[in-house]
Amino acid sequence: MKRENIEKAYKLAKAEYEELGVNTDAVLAELDKIMISLHCWQTDDVGGFEKEGAELGGGGIQATGNFPGKAKTIAQMRDDLDKVLSLVPGRQRLNLHAIYGEFGGKLVDRDQIETKYYQGWINWAKKRKIGIDFNCTCFSHPLADDGFTLASKNVKIRKFWIEHTKRCRAISADIGKQLGTPCIHNIWIPDGSKDTPIDRFGLRQILKKSLDEILSVKYPKKYLKDAVESKLFGIGSEAMVVGSHDFYLGYAVRNNMMITLDNGHFHPTEQVGDKISSILQFVDEVLLHLTRGVRWDSDHVATFNDEILLIAQEIIRANALSRVNIGLDYFDASLNRIGAYVVGIRAVQLAFLFALLEPNRMLLKYEESGKNFERLATLELLKTLPYGAVYDYYCLKKRVPVGRDYINEILKYEKEVLSKR
């Protein structure tokens, strides 16, 4: 797109929003503060690099598709991530799983991992001035084959995963210390039952004890922030998931820690956007994993849809940006993986931009005055205002492709790099 046209369109958009009392320059300054944690596993379909040719196994999740160009080495993954970062405005973060260490061809089991295996990632992030978040990996391992890890009644299995998660937290603290920004360590486990269990209480009691032991080691919050993540069901855990939303919500509130809300981990009729204002009454922060579930937790690429928009609106309306940590979590192997990232990141940014452009003082005044027609009419009119022109201008200012231009950039990378793997 021509610079002249982008600037002209922005000038007109700015004037329209000014009539509503919204300063678009101030909005873009606020948008620029929002960082999105990019999930590294979109590049390789959640395979990891513990061994050559590693693939996702178990956990009640799966990556579908076989689009050419999957990252097969850490070097390829970093090249892909650099390309993604060059195509989106703003400064983001990186989200790593424990299976993405640099193990030098050795088999390092998960109860033996140390910071040294992730030092390359720390150095990579330091050069790019971005933070890193981290996750224990409690799937794709023989000791997770029966569907239980931290809630396992087998003491040997449970101790293995407790040690793994302890080490992941220690690594996370080291990452945060070295990068000068807190590393969020998220605990998600697949533990659950395919058919109706008899001892739900016992399994949840075991999980609580495991978490208590793991979290008994304290680290400064300036280095490490802990989060726990629930799920409604997964493949092989249709009847019951030990770490349900009720379980983790109670645990997070009691321990004043973050709960992770993945909008694919709830019943399709539930809205994560509606949960945020409730949960923030009782905990300091929340972590979001944004995705797009189609009928179940299918982890389709996030798009600018009603669900993502409501999440953004609720955060902005609650003035809670400083208390919400935003990450992506999807893995679609059916299309260009670089494109999957860029579409998702831009969609989330657009949702937050739309929310920031709303004249919330005006809308709240209508609401508190009982002017329901005026509130509804204004909300509908906002849908046709030129927020796209504002986003185009933001991309121009941050020197990244505007509009459709990023599509050609990705196709060029596919031809020159991805197709040759």
CA gap 155, 316 in Å, rounded? 45
Q: What is the DSSP string of 125-193?
A: HHHHT--EEEE---SSSGGGTTS-STT-S-HHHHHHHHHHHHHHHHHHHHHHHHHTSPEEEEE----EE
Is position 90 within any domain? yes
pLDDT in tens, 293-338: 998 889 999 999 999 999 999 999 999 999 999 999 999 999 999 9
- Supply the pLDDT for residue 60: 59
Instruction: State yes or no: pLDDT of 55 exceeds 90.
Output: no
Lowest mean pLDDT among 64-68, 113-117, 205-209, 368-372: 64-68
For residue 266, which phi and psi values (nearest 5 degrees)? -125, 170
Residue 52's pLDDT is 82
Q: What is the pLDDT of residue 59?
A: 61
Q: For the packed helices 405-416 and 337-356, what is the interaxial angle rounded to 10 degrees? A: 160
pLDDT in the model for residue 1 = 78
Average pLDDT, integer, range 18-46:
97
* Within-domain flag for 21: no
Q: What is the mean pLDDT of the chain?
A: 96
Supply the residues annotated as catalytic: 188, 229, 231, 262, 265, 289, 297, 299, 329
What single string gives the DSSP state of each residue in 95-124? Answer: EEEGGG---TT----GGG--GGGGHHHHHH
Specify the length of the chain in residues.
421
Q: Are 125 and 131 in contact (CB under 8 A)?
A: yes
Confidence of residue 63 (pLDDT cuts 50, 70, 90): confident
* 302 part of a folded domain: yes
Q: Residue 285 falls within a domain, yes or no? A: yes
Give percent above pLDDT 90 in the chain.
Answer: 94
Distance of CA 29 to the CA centre of its chain: 22
The domain in which residue 90 lies consists of 35-358
Any domain includes 385: no
Number of domains in the chain: 1
For the segment 344-394, what is each residue's pLDDT rounded down to a tens digit? Answer: 999 999 999 999 999 999 999 999 999 999 999 999 999 999 999 999 999
- The answer as to whether 176 is a domain residue is yes
Is residue 86 domain-resident?
yes
Q: Are 207 and 201 in contact (CB under 8 A)?
A: no
Is 4 contained in some domain? no
Query: Averaged over 254-279, what is the pLDDT?
Result: 95
> What confidence tens digit (pLDDT) does each residue in 89-135 have?
999 999 999 999 999 999 999 999 999 999 999 999 999 999 999 99
pLDDT at 16 over 80: yes
Give the pLDDT band of residue 161 (cuts 50, 70, 90). Answer: very high
pLDDT-based confidence at residue 56 (cuts at 50, 70, 90): confident
Q: How much is the pLDDT for 64? A: 77
Q: Is residue 148 over pLDDT 70?
A: yes
The predicted pLDDT at position 201 comes to: 98
Task: Identify the CATH number of the domain in which residue 137 sits.
Answer: 3.20.20.150
- pTM given for the model: 0.96
Query: With 90 as the cut, is the pLDDT of residue 51 above it?
Result: no
pLDDT score of 58: 64
The model's pLDDT over 170-201, given as tens digits with 9 standing for 90+, comes to 999 999 999 999 999 999 999 999 999 999 99
pLDDT value at 234 more than 80: yes
